[in-house]
Amino acid sequence: MQAAIVPPALTRALAPLDQRLGRIGMHRFVLLVLAVLVAVALVLSIVGELAPGPGDVLASLAVALGVALAVNAAFCRVLRAAWQPESTLITGLLLFFLFTPTTDGGALLDLALVAAVASTSKYVLAVRGRHVLNPAAAGAALATILQLGAIPTWWVAGVELRWFVVVALLLVVVRLRQGVLVGVFVLLATANVVSDLDAAGTGFGDALEMALTSYPILFLAAFMLTEPLTLPPRRWQRVLVAAVVAFLFASPTFHVGDTYMTPEIALLLGNVLAFGFGQLGAVRLRHVGSEQLGPTTWEHRFAPGRPVRFRPGQYAELVVPHGSSDARGQRRMLTIASAPGGEVAFGVRHAPRDGSAYKAALAALEPGATLRASLVAGDFVLPRDAAQPLLLVAGGIGITPFVSQLRAMADDDGERDLVLVYGVSAGEGVPYADRLPAVPGLRVVVVAPADPGALPAGWRHVAGERLDAATLEAAAPDLADRRAFVSGPPAMVDAVAATLRARGARRVHTDQFAGY
């Protein structure tokens, strides 16, 4: 499950690319993009287009990656923690791009110290598995504060890699769906830097070019500001953090003693702010059982080691360790199907031809197995005003956030003006039909090609292959007066959202299930 925060028009334009990228896990995707940037840098150094030579590039790369891997392996062995090679390699590659490549022995020793500190921070500066600080930024900040021989230069921001970083930024924004976060930071940081340079006598054009080629605005936004374990859970909170980091980033004259503001220190201060907003650390979940709800739909239930703080409609990053990990890795964003308090449940589609090693491992869990949820976030939440009329549109497994929301409503008093339009495919049945509570005021329309059989009282079936305009208007003739929430596969969400907007729906919120 992924929350869609890219503008709707851009989402539709990039849908084919997004669908392909969604097949790769987020951490693995970031690692692959960074690896491509390393390959580009090596090629440029070989042909003489990059000042550090290939020997410098390879030496620094070996030290950054080697020390990061060694330190993390040692901590995993001592603490018996789960081995996360992708996260470790990402930290090493980020440090490689922050410190100018060299073969100088002293500088390489400094880089080794920085890599060791960055890797150590993942375990020491963490609360129940949640990073307080971005590890790479923590290591780089130490070099700045201690004034080591090797200091962060953010050489990746130079003109040689400029366009490659731009492409990388766009790919990361599409895959991680962090368009708002990245956009706010890039615009504010660039505007502030250009304003300062222009005031100092640099022409606007030159100031803009300097901001994008001499300052690591794009790289920091793409690969460090978006680090999931250091982000707050809600969009407005992320916008606030992005704005704060952008302001500090563009305030190099601000200092405490002899330590002046740097990009890595600005990011760390933003991390501290973000930490206060979210679930304080990962939560251990003990598997209670699984139940089949339809031919391909299952609900997996867990007992949390401590209460999980979330709002109905949000998701959690569930880590399922398994030896045969595929390209999508061992982590997924899964929407929580339970109401707050008590057990935590996830609704998952297990298609026979899905081929997901992650979901195969999830389906094979035995009662008592323990997993870790390391992130709770999301903006697909209903308004607190119970008088607001709502239209809920679900496609397939996209019913999951509404299940959580309706289960939570069952504990509230009063009637809600709710219309739920639930589209299901032929042969899929109607998952959750007999498990949704009777919420006063709720009307449910099931759209399916054939009669799905007995439905709960108050539900009705409408024959149809898809959720088209006629079906939606028949289910909710007053949809223009309703706030709409749409959840399901990306293509379905894009089509329904466009239809609702064209029919005058007041506000349309979307949640897309892809690549999990």
298 by DSSP, 3-state: which?
strand
pLDDT at 114: 93
- Does residue 428 have a pLDDT over 80? no
Q: List all residues 6 or more positions away from 180 whose beta carbon is below 8 Å from its beta carbon.
A: 5, 235, 238, 239
State what percent of residues in the chain have pLDDT above 70: 89
Give pLDDT tens digits for 120-160.
888 887 666 667 889 999 999 988 887 777 789 999 998 89
pLDDT at 515: 43
Give pLDDT tens digits for 186-227.
999 999 899 888 888 888 888 888 888 889 999 999 999 988
Residue 97, amino acid: F
Candidates 142, 247, 231; CA nearest to 190 is 247
Instruction: Report how far residue 150's alpha carbon sits from residue 469's, in angstroms, rounded to the nearest whole number.
Output: 61
- How close are the terminal C-alpha atoms of the chain, in Å? 6
371 by DSSP, 3-state: which?
strand
Q: What is the β-pairing status of strands 442-448 and 418-423?
A: parallel
pLDDT at 431: 86
Is residue 374 very low, low, confident or very high in pLDDT (cuts 50, 70, 90)? Answer: confident
Alpha carbon of residue 2 to chain centroid: 7
CA angle 431, 433, 434 (to 5 degrees): 115
Of 13-22, 133-142, 345-354, 378-387, which gets the smallest average pLDDT? Answer: 13-22
Q: List all residues 6 or more positions away from 11 whose beta carbon is below 8 Å from its beta carbon.
A: 4, 18, 490, 494
426 by DSSP, 3-state: which?
coil
Q: Where are the domains of the chain?
A: 2-275, 283-377, 390-512
Element (H, E) at 24: none
Is residue 2 very low, low, confident or very high in pLDDT (cuts 50, 70, 90)? Answer: very low
pLDDT at 42: 96
Is residue 231 very low, low, confident or very high in pLDDT (cuts 50, 70, 90)? Answer: confident
Is residue 86 very low, low, confident or very high in pLDDT (cuts 50, 70, 90)? Answer: confident
- Does residue 163 have a pLDDT over 80? yes
Instruction: Report how far residue 270's alpha carbon sits from residue 251's, in angstroms, rounded to the nearest whole number.
Output: 14
Beta strands in 305-441 (DSSP E): 315-319, 331-335, 344-349, 370-377, 390-395, 418-423
Q: List all residues 6 or more positions away from 85 whose beta carbon is below 8 Å from its beta carbon.
A: 69
106 by DSSP, 3-state: which?
helix
Give pLDDT tens digits for 439-466.
888 889 988 888 877 888 878 888 887 8
Q: Secondary structure of the chain: what % helix, strand, coil (to 5)? A: 45, 15, 35
Q: List all residues 6 or more positions away from 220 whose beta carbon is below 8 Å from its beta carbon.
A: 154, 185, 249, 263, 267
Q: What is the β-pairing status of strands 344-349 and 297-304?
A: antiparallel
Of 143-147, 258-262, 275-279, 311-315, which gets the smallest average pLDDT? Answer: 275-279
Q: Are 23 and 516 in contact (CB under 8 A)?
A: no
Candidates 291, 234, 318; CA nearest to 1 is 318
CATH architecture of 390-512: 3-Layer(aba) Sandwich (3.40)
pLDDT at 427: 73
Residue 280, amino acid: L
Highest mean pLDDT among 105-119, 166-180, 416-430, 451-465: 105-119
Does this model's pTM top 0.85? My answer is no
pLDDT at 269: 93
pLDDT top residue among 329 and 321 = 321
Instruction: Report how far residue 320's alpha carbon sits from residue 209's, in angstroms, rounded to the nearest whole number.
Output: 44
Angle between helices 162-176 and 179-199 (to 10 degrees): 150
- 283-377, CATH topology level: Elongation Factor Tu (Ef-tu); domain 3 (2.40.30)
pLDDT at 307: 84
Give pLDDT tens digits for 12-55.
555 555 555 556 667 788 999 999 999 999 999 999 999 899 99
pLDDT at 278: 66
pLDDT top residue among 490 and 469 = 469
pLDDT top residue among 222 and 511 = 222
Spatial strand order in the sheet of 315-319: 331-335, 315-319, 370-377, 283-292, 297-304, 344-349
Name the average pLDDT for the chain: 84
DSSP class per residue in 380-417: ----S-TTS-EEEEEEGGGGHHHHHHHHHHTTS-S---
